[in-house]
Chain A
Amino acid sequence: MKTPLYEEHRRLGAQMTNFAGWEMPLIYSTIVGEVLTVRRAAGLFDLSHMGQLIVEGKGAFNLLQRATTNDVSLLGVGDAQYTLMCGEEGGILDDLILYRLDLNRYMLVTNAANRKLDFDWLGQHSYGHVKITDRSSDFGMVAIQGPGSEDVLKGMSNFDLHGLPRFGIRLGYISSIECWVARTGYTGEDGFELYCSANDIANLWSNLLDHGEQTGLIPAGLGARDVLRLEAGYPLYSHELSRSVTPVEARLMWTVKWSKPDFIGKEAIWRRYSMGPQEVLVGLEAMDRCIPRHGYDIYCNGHIVGSVTSGTFSPTLKKAIGMGYVKFGCSEIGRIVEVKIRERYCPCAVVDMPFYRRQKQVCQQTCR
């Protein structure tokens, strides 16, 4: 499948890749260059492959409260939260951003590969006055990420962007194109995700690139996106997250709210939580010149204790980093494990995540 920006990517000379059935830009220039530009200035990403499900009606709140793990009652109109959908056994079906667009209208943004499953799952559990619509092909989606993002959008928007808080969303105009503008992202930087009509997205894309040139905005591909999210310690569905792990192993218990009434998977997750997990997701930092990569076995005291789910060389930190699941007994911060890379055992330290944390604006002004 092709996103409405496919021709733009070809024009920009992007190297393309298949991602969840979509032809997506992997690299425009170099991964390192794109990553560092997002950290320093800003990058523009095509995310039109992601799914948008609109859940609306008087029963929307109850359905979402039951189908997701986070507490939907905490959302005011214009707020968003990171949340999970879990199965009855507690396994993670998807990780999502839930936006409250209006009193009785929500938007769930799903992973591309899970869109259909999420839609069906919500349909199966809905009752009463609720309508679920898959708007994925009507919407185009781009993200502008990096410290320069607000500068780029400032001159293009019809409202005060500075007033939009992290995890806030509002309807507005960017270069006269109607968009849902959300201060969300997956890079560890300040930035925005923009949702507009698929018919307008190509215009929005080129307007953003034109307007952002002075700020140093460049298009960035999925290669850079993967490195950025890893540096920021964010899990990726089908790597860190799957049906075979619960939020307990994935260390996502902050998204699970016991205090709300019953939700799907609550009992199973509670059981796992109170017993303690067998294995947990950890951050890894290579102590040698090697990169832990997806699928490599992790050893502790000569035994296999897990495997790497993601890994890369971090251009920002100038060291190799990764994530993986390991047995609980080998998971404490500071523990040295070994990752078997072909015939070699590469020592890696278990470290706290995120690997990279952006400097807050206040600090940039006063701590320099």
Chain B
Amino acid sequence: MQPKELLYSKTHEWVRVQDNRATIGITDHAQSELGDIVFVELPNVGTKIQAGMPFGTVESIKTVSDLVAPISGEVIEVNSDLNETPELVNEDPYQRGWMLVIEMSNRSELDQLKNADEYEDFIRQR
């Protein structure tokens, strides 16, 4: 079950909006498809990320996969705990496994994202 208060992208990232800031991570579905995550490569604070473009990579034992920005903005915080304990993304994808906080540059992009029910339908159809 997906947390109701979050928004979701087709590429399986979630967004938690607070004022003009957004926290970004990957969904429970995404972490479960990837399996044991061993490296998370994230941009530095100050980097501008752009909706639909890769902003980092996540590497599991099975595979390596791009992280795709669900919305645009400037990175203001990075979860450095993932350097040493990337498995947090597996264990707690919506809380301790968060990846970035960004200052959004275009709030209207949020309209493109799915709510929890829409995302649930989306992964069921796949």
Contacts and interface: CB of A to CB of B under 8 A. Distances in A.
Interface of A: 27, 30-32, 223, 227, 289-291, 293, 312-313, 315, 320, 341-342
Interface in B26-44: 35-36, 38-39, 41
A32 B90 CA distance: 12
A34 to B, nearest CB: 10
A290 B59 CA distance: 8
Given A289-B41, A291-B64, A293-B64, A313 B35 contact: no
Interface in B47-105: 59, 61-62, 64, 90
Given A289-B41, A293-B64, A30 B36 contact: yes
A293 B64 CA distance: 9
Contacts of A31: 35-36, 61-62
Contacts of A313: 36, 38-39, 59, 61
B61 A290 contact: no
23 contacts: A27-B35, A30-B35, A30-B36, A30-B90, A31-B35, A31-B61, A31-B62, A32-B36, A32-B61, A223-B62, A227-B61, A289-B41, A290-B59, A291-B38, A291-B39, A291-B59, A291-B64, A312-B61, A313-B38, A313-B39, A313-B59, A315-B61, A341-B64
Secondary structure call for the A interface: mixed
Contacts of A341: 64
Interface of B: 35-36, 38-39, 41, 59, 61-62, 64, 90
Contacts of A320: 38
Contacts of B61: 31-32, 223, 227, 312-313, 315
Nearest to B33: A15
Contact of A289 (B36, B39, B62, B90): B39
Nearest to A32: B36
Contacts of A32: 36, 61
A356 B27 CA distance: 34
A313 B62 CA distance: 9
Given A31-B35, A313-B61, A320-B38, 4 more contacts: A30-B35, A32-B36, A289-B39, A291-B39
